[in-house]
């Protein structure tokens, strides 16, 4: 069970590549996180998919777009209009690369929705850049390697320190001294790590269109849940490289080596059977000696963010 109000889970609204199919809508993913929601890469038709999935638009406070290709952002006007109908005048922030700023601003203007939209363009840098606070967790972005500037997003909950009562008593530390020890890291020869356990917070990562590059592993490192594209099978790796995408094998391998707990594969090309892509990713995880669970997403799936071991 996650902390805060409401579940921590990914609601999959669409899973297609550039061309939707009868079974797969264009992209769209909602991360429910402690009473708020972040919408990633809303393609066409996402407003209707939200109705099918039972997604409440008033909870969506941010829209994160990875890049300006239309299958990842043409749903923005419809979503903004839905927000205006459900709660007129509300604020919403749209994030994306600097390269996509004018494109995203135009989509917001076209919507003519009664919401207070702020469009933020972020530099595509080879390092994590903090862009927002989401219910006390840090949302960061980092450059990927697509045909146009693209960002990978990462949401990181702060870690928690849990004290051992027995260890504190044995060390003779109590009352205000406990807080002092936590702030300073050491008190009267007693180190913080001697009387406490650090529990890392949950991490969710989101990586869409990109070639394999070191930044992919950096964005998804130690993620409890990582969403990665898998547009091509490994037999078409040359097309993946040429068009700026990952293969399913690459996605599985990088997730396993980065310590991802649950990998959600999406952005599935109509040319493949999704089962083939899932099998390819699982084989790569096994070959890398990883323990990553692979889930090939279908439209309207709901995937829980795995709880950290020992979380209260």
Active site residues: 71
User: Do 62 and 115 touch, CB atoms closer than 8 A?
Assistant: no
d(CA 255, CA 161): 27
Site of tokens 């898998």: 230
What stretches of the chain show up as alpha helix (H) in DSSP?
A: 46-53, 76-86, 101-111, 165-171, 176-184, 214-220, 237-243, 248-257, 274-287
Number of CB atoms found within 10 A of residue 133's CB: 9
User: Do 302 and 11 touch, CB atoms closer than 8 A?
Assistant: yes
Transcribe 134-196 into DSSP letters: ETTEEEEEEE--SSS--EEEEEEPPPEEEE-HHHHHHHT--THHHHHHHHHSEETTEEGGGSE
The torsion angle over the Cα atoms of residues 183, 164, 307 and 156, rounded to 10 degrees, is 10
d(CA 187, CA 168): 11
User: Do 262 and 228 touch, CB atoms closer than 8 A?
Assistant: no
Greatest C-alpha distance within the chain? 67
d(CA 230, CA 176): 52
3-state helix, strand and coil shares in percent for the chain, rounded to the nearest 5 = 30, 30, 40
């Amino acid at each position: 069970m996650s902390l805060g109000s409401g579940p921590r889970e990914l609601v999959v609204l669409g899973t297609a590549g550039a061309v939707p199919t009868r079974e797969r809508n264009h992209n769209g993913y909602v991360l429910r996180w402690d009473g708020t929601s972040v919408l990633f890469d809303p393609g066409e038709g996402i407003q209707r998919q939200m109705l099918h999935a039972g997604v409440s638009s008033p909870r969506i406070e941010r829209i994160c777009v990875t890049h300006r290709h239309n299958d990842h952002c043409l749903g923005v006007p419809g979503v903004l209009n839905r927000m205006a109908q459900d709660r007129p005048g509300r604020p919403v922030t749209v994030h994306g690369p600097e390269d996509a700023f004018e494109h995203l601003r135009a989509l917001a203007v076209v919507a003519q929705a009664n919401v207070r939209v702020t469009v933020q363009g972020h530099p595509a840098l080879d390092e994590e850049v903090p862009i927002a606070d989401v219910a006390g967790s840090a949302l960061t972005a980092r450059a990927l390697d697509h045909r146009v500037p693209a960002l990978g997003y990462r949401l990181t909950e702060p870690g928690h320190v849990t004290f051992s009562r027995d260890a504190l008593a044995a060390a003779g530390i109590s009352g205000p001294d406990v807080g002092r020890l936590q702030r300073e890291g050491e008190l009267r020869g007693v180190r913080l790590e001697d009387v406490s356990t650090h529990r890392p917070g949950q991490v969710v990562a989101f990586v869409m269109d990109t070639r394999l590059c070191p930044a992919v592993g950096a964005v998804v490192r130690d993620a409890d849940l990582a969403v990665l594209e898998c547009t091509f099978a490994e037999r078409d790796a040359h097309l993946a490289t040429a068009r700026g995408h990952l293969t399913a094998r690459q996605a599985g391998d990088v997730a396993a080596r980065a310590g991802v707990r649950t990998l959600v594969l999406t952005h599935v090309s109509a040319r493949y059977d999704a089962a083939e892509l899932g099998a390819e990713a699982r084989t790569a995880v096994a070959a890398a000696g990883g323990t990553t669970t692979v889930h090939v997403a279908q439209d309207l799936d709901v995937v829980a963010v795995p709880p950290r071991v020992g979380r209260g």
